[in-house]
Amino acid sequence: MIGIALLILISSLGSYVQGSRRAGVEQNSMLQSERLAREIRQAKKITRITETGTYPLYLKIKFLALNDKEVSYLYDAESKNLARKETGVPDRMIARIFQTHDDVAFAGFDRDGNTTTVPADVKSIRISLKVTDDKNENTSAVRTMISLRN
């Protein structure tokens, strides 16, 4: 009888831990996409939307922030981290330590809804973000469209 109760308790704890990790990955991906969207929405000017660079470091997007500093988001394909680079400020990793970005993409759209890589024509940006935990057990993908204010 005690053995059956222990078996149920242990399997319940395993399910709880797995569910908790899944919820953490989903919450983290949502928070990251909201932070990116908020910052890009307030950008004064998009200066680059084209992915450039060579393996492992890729520049994803570059823009002029409200404080007139240039901000870039770079993706490191080896470590699977997204880094925020701002003029005069040390680089900051966007991902929490136990989670990695499997895929990060920014796509620019013009006034008519067509994709564009010309910074002056960009009126809205689609952010696609895929985050995975360190055990490759849980993945969360978020895609959001933002309209630029400036």
- Which residues lie closer than 8 Å to 9 by C-beta, 6 or more apart? none
- Examine the pLDDT at 109 and tell me if it is beyond 90: yes
Question: 3-state class of 87 per DSSP?
Answer: coil
Q: Are 109 and 118 in contact (CB under 8 A)?
A: no
User: How does pLDDT run across 120-147, given as a tens digit for each residue?
Assistant: 999 999 998 888 877 777 888 899 999 9
Answer with the residue of higher pLDDT: 10 or 127: 127
Total-model pTM = 0.78
**Token pair listed for 31:** 């928070």
User: What confidence category does residue 41 fall into, taking pLDDT thresholds of 50, 70 and 90?
Assistant: very high
Q: What is the mean pLDDT of residues 64-90?
A: 85
| pLDDT at 59 > cutoff 60 | yes
